[in-house]
Copies of this chain bind each other. A is one copy, B any other.
């Protein structure tokens, strides 16, 4: 514990942008200004690359109104990167930190960034350089260990809850004899994001009808049976899948290089899992299908932001600084849930080594035994994170006018 270490603070944003990572930076800067031992408040341009390239911005020069507005500005205002440090890079990082008298280093990122932070903390300790390193959890993937959930997740979950409910209403509205809609969400290694679409379900027969998580191997024949069963019953289906689905052989469920005309395209990225499944359904079941894929839009949407998520992102930024100033280092700020209803959550600290490079999957009790939906346990867990109820919609009672003519079926 190195209390009251005087020096400069450096904050870096890392990995994919979210709707609320700037809220964390806002919390970091606001809290840092309260501590006299923190002199310069610097931001690294494009994450760790900004450290390597000595590209640092002076956040004390920003208008306080700008810092406040960062709370509701999506994406990563300092720029981010996915650069992975090599051996030589670490020496350079130490050189830059020393040159700029950095005593406090804060990374907002996922499990890769927590590893980088952990390595830097270890190296500083080894070299006898006084440096307090803190991690701020940030990932829409919600896959960090040691924390109940990750800032960024509640907002992507809210976006997808609303998007899938709306896609379901849209699918219900147009009468066609067959209609399957696939919604493809983000999520490479874990199913937290695709699972959140269940929060948009407003009734037994409403969307989503099926959800597939990468925690379970994707079985094509089973999938077709599932879709057919829903379609037989409702004449429609909304099916949610994430981009990281893999089959029993561990291969991604999507068009592979072999399946694409290479002479013309040269690359094998045409379509993702959603488009692949559209074709699987139409060719095997003869049912018309289409795929919505909001892509990066889902992770940076302020119009669908979760207010809980926004506030927690700010809070973990503040706590990272207050704890660093108290002398903590090599730790990540964690969110520790006390209760789900009413929702209560506190902050704590977890060692970076416990988080680095590890992935938290959706647990078995959150996945339906049929591997095609989530359980109530998941809903109880995720519901508070999206920050209040979804926009309320009207639903017609549809009292039918008495028929006066002989039957005349026409569909």
A residues near B (Cβ < 8 Å) are 13, 15-17, 22, 40, 42-43, 45-47, 49, 52-59, 61-63, 66-70, 72-83, 89, 92, 95-96, 99-100, 162-163, 166-167, 169-176, 181, 183, 255, 258-261, 264-267, 269-271, 275-276, 278-280, 282-283, 290-297, 299-304, 391-401, 403-405, 408-411
Contact assessment for A410 and B303 in the assembled complex, using a CB-CB cutoff below 8 Å: no
Of B52, B57, B269, the contact of A410 (CB 8 Å cutoff): B52
22 A–B contact pairs at CB < 8 A? A46-B175, A49-B175, A52-B408, A54-B403, A54-B408, A58-B399, A58-B401, A63-B397, A67-B394, A68-B394, A74-B166, A76-B174, A77-B394, A79-B174, A81-B176, A82-B176, A89-B410, A92-B410, A166-B296, A255-B270, A290-B295, A303-B303
A59 vs B399: C-alpha distance when bound (angstroms): 8
A80 vs B176: C-alpha distance when bound (angstroms): 9
B residues in contact with A163, CB < 8 Å: 297, 301
Give, as a whole number of angstroms, the nearest-CB distance from A283 to chain B: 3
Contact assessment for A57 and B292 in the assembled complex, using a CB-CB cutoff below 8 Å: no
**Known A-B contacts A62-B396, A279-B270, A282-B266; A296 and B170 likewise in contact (beta carbons under 8 Å):** yes
Of B175, B391, B405, the contact of A72 (CB 8 Å cutoff): B391
Contact assessment for B82 and A174 in the assembled complex, using a CB-CB cutoff below 8 Å: yes
Contact assessment for B170 and A69 in the assembled complex, using a CB-CB cutoff below 8 Å: no
Contact assessment for A173 and B70 in the assembled complex, using a CB-CB cutoff below 8 Å: no
Question: In the complex, what residue of chain B is closest to A76 when comparing beta carbons?
Answer: B173
Contact assessment for B394 and A16 in the assembled complex, using a CB-CB cutoff below 8 Å: no
Contact assessment for A267 and B291 in the assembled complex, using a CB-CB cutoff below 8 Å: no
A258 vs B59: C-alpha distance when bound (angstroms): 55
Contact assessment for B393 and A297 in the assembled complex, using a CB-CB cutoff below 8 Å: no
Contact assessment for B270 and A78 in the assembled complex, using a CB-CB cutoff below 8 Å: no
B residues in contact with A279, CB < 8 Å: 265-267, 269-270
Contact assessment for A99 and B404 in the assembled complex, using a CB-CB cutoff below 8 Å: yes
Of B58, B79, B162, B275, the contact of A172 (CB 8 Å cutoff): B79
A70 vs B63: C-alpha distance when bound (angstroms): 43
Question: In the complex, what residue of chain B is closest to A14 when comparing beta carbons?
Answer: B174
A290 vs B269: C-alpha distance when bound (angstroms): 9
